[in-house]
Amino acid sequence: MPDRTANCPNCGAPLRFRWSGAVQTTCEYCHSILVRHDLDFRKVGVVAELPLEGSPLQLGSEGVFDNKPFIAVGRIIYEYDQGVWNEWHLLFSDGTSGWLADAQLEYAVSFLTQRSHPLPAPQHLHRGQQFQWDGAVYEVTTITEANYRGVEGELPFEYWDKQRVRFADLRTADARFATLDYSEDPPLLFMGRVVEFDGLRLNNLRHFEGWD
């Protein structure tokens, strides 16, 4: 798809888009967070300096999931008591959006899913709780309190400066994966699978001193 170009309303630097559906992006020069309104972008904030973190991915990293190529066009960084994790916004070749979670180098790809059944309220969640979805038993394995730490690149929604959010990770016996995101009400449900690094066939990754 052809890259759109526009100019940053704050510093005038050219903005490059990989995705026509981007609702929010960041200017790589002045670190402004820009939100789209119709054809223009408006600055809404500035990205705090991104924390030091060690994800091997970067904006522009490419890979494959379920035989569909994707490119990492944006990310959200969350911080919790054990450190940080990344949610990479993946743009697939068919124009759809997905998310690649990278938490201490354990990876999972998931997609925003609509469910007809009501989802539990955050105070009713506990570790070990089970749900029957799509013929599999999902069990809550982790409950985390996290807060937003930074954004980068193109996102399909507006996201910056959020308060503390509760997340719950669920897993199945066949390596399926789901996340409940309580930043909204009703909560957002993402469903997908745990993946191995090799299975993603990633390229255009960061280089680590001493490892290449």
Partner 1 sequence: MPQVRALFCPNCGGTIQLRGYAQTVNAVCEHCLSVLDTKAESLRVIQQIQERTRIEPAIPLGSRGTFEGTRYEAIGFQQRSIDVDDETYSWREYLLFNPYKGYRYLTEYDGHWNYVRTLPALPVRSKYLTRPALVYEGRRFVHFQHAAARTTYVLGEFPWQVRTGETVGTDDFISPPYLLSAESTEHEVVYSLGTYTEPAAVWQAFGLQGAPPWRRGVFANQPSPYSRPASMWRRFASLTALLLVVLISVAIITPHERVLEQVYRYASHTPAAAPFVTPTFELRGRPSSVVVRVDTDIDNDAASFALALINDETGQVWDFGADLGYWHGRDEDGNWSEGRRNAAATVPDVPAGRYYLRVEPSIDEAAPISGVASDPNRERGFKYTLSVTRGWFGWWPFLVAFPLLLIPPIAATARYYSFEGKRWSESDYSTYLSS
Using CB under 8 A as the criterion, which residues of the chain lie in contact with partner 1 when the complex forms? Answer: 51-54, 56, 81-84, 104-106, 127-128, 139, 141-144, 171-176, 194, 196-198, 205-211
Q: Which of 179, 177, 169, 170 is nearest to 195 (CA)?
A: 177
Nearest distance from residue 129's CB to partner 1, in Å?
12
Decide whether 38 or 174 has the Cβ nearer to partner 1: 174
Nearest distance from residue 41's CB to partner 1, in Å?
30
Nearest distance from residue 200's CB to partner 1, in Å?
10
Q: Which two tokens stand for residue 90?
A: 């993946």
CA distance 137 to 130: 6
Nearest distance from residue 65's CB to partner 1, in Å?
15
Decide whether 7 or 82 has the Cβ nearer to partner 1: 82
Instruction: Specify whether the CB–CB gap between 98 and 65 falls below 8 A.
Output: yes
CA distance 200 to 107: 9
Nearest distance from residue 198's CB to partner 1, in Å?
8
Q: Which two tokens stand for residue 121?
A: 């309220």
Structure-derived torsion over alpha carbons of residues 92, 95, 97, 98, reported in degrees to the nearest 10: -20
Nearest distance from residue 175's CB to partner 1, in Å?
4
Tell me phi and psi for residue 197, to 5 degrees. Answer: -55, -45
Decide whether 20 or 130 has the Cβ nearer to partner 1: 130
What's the half-sphere exposure (Cβ side, CA atoms, 13 Å) at 15? 29
DSSP 136-148: EEEEEEEEEEEEE
Decide whether 114 or 211 has the Cβ nearer to partner 1: 211
Decide whether 115 or 127 has the Cβ nearer to partner 1: 127
Decide whether 155 or 168 has the Cβ nearer to partner 1: 168
